[in-house]
């Protein structure tokens, strides 16, 4: 099963090459390489579906954020800006994250459902986080979800 997202990235790479957009070209080549590495990891080659490609892109975005912070702390604003530019390119492919208000609403609903099912305290944390992640989608950062759930259960 081919991934429409991977196909879109490849088409965007072709457009970026034609437009001579070096930042986009290098970033999309890097993410396609990361996807290919993920497909060939292990003993058998496997085509990734859109969710798996999104996971690869999310990991690359997190790497860009960490690298930009490291470069800023080291006094290299030029490299930090380059990392942020790559992050912007990659974020085009991620679904929109929930706003804080939307996340709070989802968390409150799932906390109520967990309490109704008899889950309280720390036992409820894992149940609620799993349910919220399922409803929030891949675009919402796991750290934001965990912090919102812990605040709601406190």
- In the chain, the number of structural domains is 2
Instruction: Please give the residue range of the domain that contains residue 140.
Output: 100-153
Q: For 98-110, what is each residue's pLDDT tens digit?
A: 888 888 898 889 8
- 85 and 140 fall within a common domain: no
119 phi, psi to nearest 5 deg:
-95, 130
Residues 104 and 75 in one domain: no
The number of residues making up the chain comes to 154
**Tokens standing for residue 19:** 């437009």
Output the pLDDT for position 47.
Answer: 87
Q: What is the pTM of this model?
A: 0.74
């Amino acid at each position: 099963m081919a991934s429409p997202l991977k196909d879109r990235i490849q088409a965007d790479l072709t457009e970026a090459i034609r437009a001579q957009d070096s930042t986009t070209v290098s970033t999309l080549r890097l993410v396609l390489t990361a996807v290919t590495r993920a497909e060939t990891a292990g003993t058998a080659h496997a085509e990734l579906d859109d969710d798996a490609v999104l996971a690869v892109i999310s990991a690359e975005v997190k790497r860009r954020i960490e690298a930009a912070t490291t470069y800023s702390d080291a006094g290299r604003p030029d490299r930090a800006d380059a990392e942020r530019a790559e992050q912007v390119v990659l974020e085009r492919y991620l679904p929109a994250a929930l706003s804080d208000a939307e996340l709070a609403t989802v968390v409150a609903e799932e906390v109520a459902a967990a309490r109704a099912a008899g889950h309280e305290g720390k036992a409820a944390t894992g149940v609620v986080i799993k349910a919220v992640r399922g409803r929030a989608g891949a675009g919402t950062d796991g750290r934001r979800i965990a912090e919102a759930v812990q605040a709601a259960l406190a």
